[in-house]
Amino acid sequence: MHFWKFCQMEIQKIKQRFGIIGNHPVMNRAIDIAMQVAPTDLSVLISGESGTGKEFFPKIIHQNSARKHGTYIAVNCGAIPEGTIDSELFGHEKGAFTGATDSRKGYFEVANGGTIFLDEVAELPLSTQVRLLRVLESGEYIRVGSSKVQKTNVRVIAATNIDIIVAVQQGKFREDLYYRLNTVPIVVPSLRDRKEDIYLLFRKFASDFAEINRMPMIALTDPARLILINYRWPGNIRQLKNITEQISIIESTREIDDETIKKYLPDYQLVKLPVLYEKTVDEKKFNTEREILYKVLFDMKNDMIDLKRLVAEIMDKRSGTEIREEHTGMIEKLYQSTNHEGAVSPQTLHINPSESQDIQDTEEIIEESLSLEKKEIELIKKALDKHKGKRKYAAEELGISERTLYRKIKEHNLE
């Protein structure tokens, strides 16, 4: 119990020293790991989204290590061009490349005995990753344009805002380098995972800005505070600080309500509000979807007629047997009631009496076709009414050619 209290006190001291705001358990755990690993020389990999404050942890580790009196260098690997990154990290000899008018020490040579922080380490080219792996394994490196092996005693702390496991699977990051860097992992939580810390951070940024610029501090109404806490904050702490400063400068009133703060969160309405049930029906959208469905059903009807014709022809070839009188009467009746172009006539349809089950299936299909025919007539009438009898526009509405519409009108006596 006493040890736990001691650790909490140490964590609070670290927060005060480095200006870290918040009491989220994951953040406290990250600080605790940094303090525990600091006295060692183990490599550390810090992961977290951009803007979460990953840059504080290398400083915590360096200042609590035996190297605190040595050199501390922070390198943004993504900001250095690929053609010069090796020279920046490991140095170069005079004449090693165009413009190398003098020899130059690299960061690993300058930071000998200290700590080097490689921010956005996943941006390193593969060739540079090989050189870095050698430094981590043996402490050896070679300047660009030289063949002389040099030694360095540098502690490496790296950080990334991407999933390096995915980068390894894609061949963009060396797996052996990943495991060498990831000796001790530290995960920094995103701001949306620290909801209880958001308002504390806002007040700290507002207070600091007001003090620096000698102006009254802004405050939030309760609805505005709720919006602030529930926002996703894709830019994390950096975004929160920028928005706090924007509001402090632009707004004349010092009490910020919910409508005002929404103006500084441009995607708030798009991604943060819950999806509401749409009570009113979009009639035009509904009719369009229904008409498309009818058209599909009409196409299916024509396909079924073609299929019946094909089956009839095959059965006629396989068996010369005439249809029994009762079956003939049934098919003839159905044919007359259907009265649709392409329907199978009783004179051409020959079915074996032993296959009466097939005849029953055909009867069911034709009954379904009758209902589709009524829907077709209804749809054509609606389209003509909608466009006041103009067949060209009615045909476009139905998704069929004008010629086909003429034929349908004549077929169904819709003149």
Q: Is residue 288 part of a domain?
A: yes
Looking at 271, 296, 331, the residue that finishes a domain is 271
In this structure, the answer to whether residues 72 and 155 fall within a common structural domain is yes
Would you state the pLDDT for residue 60?
96
User: How many whole angstroms from its chain centre is CA 211?
Assistant: 39
Would you state the pLDDT for residue 271?
44
Containing H/E element for 45? strand 44-47
What the block records as the tokens of 17 is 């020293």
Would you state the pLDDT for residue 401?
83
List, for residues 57-102, the tens digit of each pLDDT value. 999 999 999 999 999 999 999 999 988 999 999 999 988 888 888 9
Encode the chain (415 residues) as per-residue pLDDT tens digits: 456 666 788 899 999 999 999 999 999 999 999 999 999 999 999 999 999 999 999 999 999 999 999 999 999 999 999 889 999 999 999 888 888 889 999 999 999 999 999 999 999 999 999 999 999 999 999 999 999 999 999 999 999 999 999 999 999 999 999 999 999 999 999 999 999 999 999 999 999 999 999 999 999 999 999 999 999 999 999 999 999 999 999 999 999 999 999 999 977 654 444 444 444 445 555 566 667 777 777 777 777 787 777 777 777 665 554 444 444 544 454 445 444 444 444 444 444 544 444 444 444 444 444 457 777 888 888 888 888 888 888 888 888 888 887 788 888 777 6
Would you state the pLDDT for residue 163?
93
Burial of 235 (0-12, 13-18, 19+ CB in 10 A): middle
Would you state the pLDDT for residue 317?
63
Identify the CATH number of the domain in which residue 52 sits. Answer: 3.40.50.300
> What's the CA dihedral at 100, 103, 105, 109 to 10 degrees?
130
Would you state the pLDDT for residue 346?
46
In this structure, the answer to whether residues 183 and 79 fall within a common structural domain is yes
In this structure, the answer to whether residues 46 and 152 fall within a common structural domain is yes
DSSP labels for 100-140?
--S-B--HHHHTTTSEEEEETGGGS-HHHHHHHHHHHHHSE
In this structure, the answer to whether residues 198 and 310 fall within a common structural domain is no
Q: Is residue 351 part of a domain?
A: yes
Q: Is residue 276 part of a domain?
A: no
Q: Is residue 277 part of a domain?
A: no
Looking at 169, 189, 209, the residue that finishes a domain is 189
Cα within 13 Å of Cα(59), Cβ side: 11
In this structure, the answer to whether residues 10 and 85 fall within a common structural domain is yes
Q: Is residue 278 part of a domain?
A: no
Query: What DSSP state is assigned to residue 171?
Result: T
In this structure, the answer to whether residues 303 and 259 fall within a common structural domain is no
Q: How many domains does the chain have?
A: 3
> How many residues are present in the chain?
415
**Which residue range(s) make up the domain with 293?**
283-411
Angle between helices 356-386 and 325-338 (to 10 degrees): 10
Comparing C-alpha atoms, which of 358, 365, 346, 374 is closest to residue 302?
365
In this structure, the answer to whether residues 317 and 335 fall within a common structural domain is yes
In this structure, the answer to whether residues 245 and 304 fall within a common structural domain is no
What percent of the chain stands above pLDDT 70?
Answer: 79
In this structure, the answer to whether residues 178 and 197 fall within a common structural domain is no
Q: Is residue 357 part of a domain?
A: yes
In this structure, the answer to whether residues 131 and 225 fall within a common structural domain is no
In this structure, the answer to whether residues 33 and 69 fall within a common structural domain is yes
Angle between helices 195-213 and 222-230 (to 10 degrees): 120
The dihedral built from the CA positions of residue 405, 407, 411 and 413, taken in this order, carries a sign that is positive
Would you state the pLDDT for residue 323?
44
Would you state the pLDDT for residue 38?
96
Identify the CATH number of the domain in which residue 214 sits. Answer: 1.10.8.60
Would you state the pLDDT for residue 316?
67
Would you state the pLDDT for residue 318?
58
Would you state the pLDDT for residue 90?
96
Q: What are the phi and psi torsion angles at 46 (to 5°)? A: -100, 125
Looking at 271, 303, 332, the residue that finishes a domain is 271
